[in-house]
Structure 1
Amino acid sequence: MNITTNLSGIGMTSQRTRSRLIQRLRDKGIIEESVLAVMEKLPRHIFIDEAMAHRAYEDTSLPIGMGQTISQPYIVARMTELLVMSGKMDNVLEIGTGCGYQTSVLAGVSKWVYSIERIQPLQKQAIERFKLLGLHNVNYRHGDGYLGWEEEAPFDAIIVTAAPDQVPQPLLDQLVVGGRMVIPVTSSPGVQQLHLLEKTDEGISSMQVEEVKFVPLLGGVVK
């Protein structure tokens, strides 16, 4: 896949089109201005195949190859907003780099982002995009997301961009007390619920946010 260097975009990838997407996100209830500002500047069209670039600013998920997708902009904004509005964002762990779009949004609202991807070809493409965008606060690892990144723990926030059947214990262990995790969890066949978890001195509190649709969270690695 060739990654275009046209960051500004033209036509259906122009700044005007990008701004219309941001207005749609506002209309859907996204209110965190720091998240909206990052997403308005971020060229989503460089994270997908050039043949699909004209659809980059639709509020929909799109395929990125290897059986994976780039998340719907609303979901990216909602998950990021939940974390930003609920506490510190100094040290953030992302499970599932994918194409790197969610990672790049996080980089704009966090001090440091640590992102794990199990599919190495996707990770390599994402790294090219981080370099193109000049992101210097993203650290990445090819590994099993179920295990987290123990060496860099504890984390203020964790975001999981694929759905497990239950929350992985290693990720809960790697949250600082007061830390938050936003994660989609499969509650029944074909049904996933987005949860916002907080780690307290007494244990884990959980708030169910809304129904979502993500690819399943898988263990192991792919080279």
Structure 2
Amino acid sequence: MTIDYPQARENMVEQQVRPWDVLDARVLETLATLPREAFVADAHRALAYADLEIPLGHGQAMMKPVVEGRALQALKPQADEEVLEIGTGSGYLAACLGSLARDVVSLEINPELAAAARARLDATGLGNNVRIETADALAYDTDRRFDVVCVTGAVSAIPARFLQWLRPGGRLFVVRGESPVMEAVLHVNDVNGARVESLFETDLPYLVGAAPAPQFVF
């Protein structure tokens, strides 16, 4: 069976993403243009535009298109802005961020996933402004500050270092809480102090090392 990927991409935007209140024109154009099928394993290519999390191996998964769309819309990366992505995964969201912003640094803890994502970005000609670093975000240290921080795995609580990486006016998207009911939030580093906006409920795999400590029941 031959899949019409451009048609599948259009269906994803019109039947999944737009109905979930993703209406930002730049975000919709990015999702309607970038070849999501090029960022999944051959075995899962037929599912590239389905309303599903797609397994990437190593206990990680690609977020649903609707969640990616909502994250991009909340963050609103601008053409002159710098982005930090925590959790490269497939490399697809890094490509989306790279098409919207000036510069992207993406951290991936797993070397195999980092290498595969780099190869996919290079093969598609996307991500010339994306640098992938193999690093544990929970131990990562940089003096650099970013306009946008996008976290692609869940955390039980937002680590302080994630917020320290934001410039004044910077925005952080993250999913926090405990499975199965987690909250996606936008953290805005306003001049008047931090502002947190609740976006939607979802359930994502945790970043490595960011799961809640097990509760002992006596």
**What is the TM-score of this pair, normalised by structure 2?**
0.89
Q: Partner residue of 1:111?
A: 102
Residues 60 and 178 (structure 1), Cα distance of their counterparts in 2 relative to 1, 3 Å cut: same
Provide the residue aligned with 1:213 in structure 2. 203
The answer to whether the 8 Å contact 1:148/1:174 transfers is: no
Structure 1: which amino acid aligns with 2:44?
A: M
Partner of 1:201: 191
Structure 1: state its 5+ residue gaps.
Answer: 1-9
2:79·2:102 contact (CA, 8 Å) conserved in 1? Answer: no
Q: Is the 8 A contact 1:13 1:57 kept in 2?
A: no
Q: How far apart are 1:149 and its partner, in Å?
A: 5.2
2:135 alignment counterpart:
143
User: Deviations along 1:37-60, whole A, 9 cap, x unmatched?
Assistant: 111111111211212211111122
- Report how many aligned residue pairs link the two structures: 208
Distance 1:107 1:169 in 2: 25
Residue number among 54, 58, 62 corresponding to 1:66 in the alignment = 58
- Cα deviation for residue 102 of structure 1 reads 0.9
Aligned equivalents of 1:143, 1:177: Cα separation in 2: 25
Matched, 1:172 2:172: no
Distance 1:165 1:189 in 2: 9
Select between 111-120 and 138-147 the one with higher mean Cα deviation: 138-147
Alignment of 1:75-114 (within 5 A): 75-84=67-76, 90-114=81-105
1:189, CA displacement in angstroms? 4.7
How far is the alpha carbon of 1:89 from its aligned partner? Answer: 5.8
Counterpart-to-counterpart distance in 1, 2:91 and 2:202:
20
Deviation at 1:148, TM superposition (A): 4.7
Q: Which residue of 1 aligns with 2:6?
A: 15
Displacement after TM superposition at 1:147 (Å): 3.9
- Specify every segment of 5 or more residues in structure 2 that has no aligned partner in the other structure, as ranges: 211-218
Displacement, 1:219?
Answer: 3.7
Task: State the SS of the aligned residue for 1:12.
Answer: coil
TM (norm. structure 1) is: 0.87
**Alignment partner, residue 214 of structure 2:** none
Q: CA deviation at 1:65?
A: 0.9
1:100-131 CA distance string (max 9 Å, x none): 11111111101001100001100100000110
1:15 match: secondary structure:
helix
The amino acid that maps onto 1:197 is H
Distance 1:109 1:149, change over 3 A: farther
The residue that corresponds to 1:42 in the other structure is 34
Question: Identity, % of aligned pairs?
Answer: 27
Q: Please state if 1:131 is matched with 2:122.
A: yes
Residue in structure 2 matching 1:30, options 22, 38, 42: 22
